[in-house]
Chains A and B, each alone.
Chain A
């Protein structure tokens, strides 16, 4: 990975240290996840956790947070199942499902379970360029360490309507400015990418390409695959150190 050797002009960048991606089998539901991941969470907390909460928690496994860490979280659909289940409780609305359905409940389940305060927490909430937004938030954050989280859970009737994720997944990447022992790097070069574009999925005239979807980004992280695309206002790179 040439850039990590420091040969190129400086650009906003962060280096990946801890990385864990949860990509459960398509058949895994919340009950199966509870069984698979039961060792990772306190029993009382586990009972109330959503599939997304468990996947995010498992992604954070082995990573001790501090209040000085910043968290950036990306989810297009958020707490889909809690939202569906909460709506089903009307007219006697469930207070627990109401709380759980509110973005960014997936992360809060985990951190409240850990009793882990954090200073700054940036929950992005959707859109075709959510990956870019989360990466911009990560690069702009002054904290020494930024934990980039992302994930989705499968919906039921919302999925049938095309308003929920087809897949469940979760990822956590600890990003610092320290290139030593990094496993990868995320970088942005301003000015060489797209400019005002008319389409959120890319614009041939102006050069802004389609931004990778959150699930695609998670797959690239899991498979240590490089990504490069022209985004709004500049070019993004995800690349990896080779042993």
Chain B
């Protein structure tokens, strides 16, 4: 009775999280990380080898504490790509002047180039995984139906799908509610969670099967 109540509470909490997550998405939209949302790419060409800590200090001076992602460009350590949500023309000029002064770059050389980069759609992020994951789930459901037929085919398959949907939904819901930016870790963690749910369900079914045999 107590176990069943615990399960009920877990599902209830998960469903509340999913509903709250959906409402949050509806009101504020998904908070994507810089790499997925529309942002500005600032390509800085130093014309000589740069020191990353100096660059970070310069960027902080001009752009403040706003979120930015730094990427190394090419292999010569003389240019860098900075992703920020937005940058004004004045900030571009300030950044350019600061870098020219610090690295003594000639006037003719282009130092800062800003490009507006579009977004990546959520559908595009998850699309490549849908068919393989769906196929794996169907095969596992078939395996469950055969292996755990004594526990009730419909029940084991239903519980499998329910747990996957609720767990993944709750994961997305937590991200939406907490406004944690959805970035490149999203799919790996979702797959990890999927495997964990499959493993957990398998262990539960095996234990039930052993108990039933006894």
A binds B: no
Which residues of chain B have a CB within 8 Å of any CB of chain A? none
Which residues of chain A have a CB within 8 Å of any CB of chain B? none
